[in-house]
Chain A
Amino acid sequence: MLLHNLPYDKLEELLPYIDTLILPIGSLTIPKQAADPIGKDLQLVRRVATGVEQQLTGRVFLLPEVIHTNFELPEQFGMAVEILGKYLYESLLSFKQPGFEKIVLLYGNEELSAVIEQTSSKLLEAGLRVMVQPIVWQEGSNETDFDMNVQQIVQNIIDFWQS
């Protein structure tokens, strides 16, 4: 379900069936390949998250994406990854009390891997179950590769439920 599209009374009706939150984490940076648009990673993460949510809609809430920005032009500005990590930890921990015990962190930018893994470990210590899911996207991949990627992530989430 798309959390922000649901009327409040519908939310209460659905809560008993939903135990998993998907949080897409996108990056807004200057692309490494000059030909790529700014925000390519963000678009990819958003598309994959939407594709996954469509297939598992009855058991997941898709949260609005978190966007990390980092530019170097010529001075560096944006958000320190430590702030991203702290924010992720604190906001996700707040979902524990209402009973959302499973969290999927979906991201594409490998530069965020370390902070996302660290946050995941801290959330695990705090009693949440976390699945960290990088999106692997090679240059030259096509729509079929995209669908296979979504399919693989859907299967990983089903395995995560069963583990």
Chain B
Amino acid sequence: MNSKTNRANHIILRVEGLKKYFPVRRGFFQKIAAWNKAVDGVSFEIQQGKTLGLVGESGCGKTTVARLILKLLESDAGKIVFRGTDISKLAENDMKLYRKDMQIVFQDPYGSLNPRMTVGLSIEEGLRILGIKNAPKRKERLEKLLQMVGMSPESADRYPHEFSGGQRQRIGIARALSVEPLLIICDEPVSALDVSIQAQIINLLKDLQDRLGLSYLFISHDLNVVGYLCNTIAVMYKGCIMEFAPAEQLFENPRHPYTISLLAAIPDPEPGNTPDLHLPERDLPDSSIPIFGCSFQGRCTLEETRCREERTTLAQVGEEHFVRCWKAAQNKIPKVS
């Protein structure tokens, strides 16, 4: 087996040219006035047992990408190749085969747990889906799952509101694990938590990955968390991936002007380590005005005429390092080995 196919075998998920446009309706007749290009040609891949971080500011399309992959939302274009099969066009019935292999953990576990169901019943649902019909067996699995996420077996008989935010997040993780998934999409799983609890959940996710060989798509806007946890990072802006690189690369040698401004904006918990920033004073430009060329225009300090006249492409600038900016790509010619 050559190294290329070997690598392909280790890719659990690959998305290619994923698109989702939402109609923007206006006026009395609610006519479609414009399209909100929430996801506009997103491509990336996740290696088995590894974590891909998807970062970007609010509204850039991260959650929409997650919902497209899980087929909670129909994509307008693109491929979603999961374990070698393109699931993007699969009918709901055929999807069943894959559903249980992909799970999601949300930012607000409260909203995703049924408040009228005990924690035990919520988690057991997954075990039924797995086809474990024998009740004592299910109970045994349930206890094991709770133990895995650091909760006592008694928790099973209590209701979601009786738990703290961190505990509910553990329950959400236990429920995701119940169907023995291969990939877990984590959408801002620690953003709502306090630092001391955040560390507990991050450690838990890491332990589970080591033990079960899970792959994660980890969505966050916190670069400190992503930098700690992820193997590769995709930086998203207005529906497009602007830069994609191994985590160390992205932090050591960021190439896209947007990535550079994001990194500069991380509050650093070391006093004196925060030089005055030279961020553009402008806020996000109005997204309903259609623009041609690079979507970072209007906020980029390096913008030139060409940025507004040419369609952008993702250019390779290093091994597994891609950037969507002609200037960044030209500065240094890709060092492909």
B partners with A: no
Interface positions of A (Cβ within 8 A of B):
none
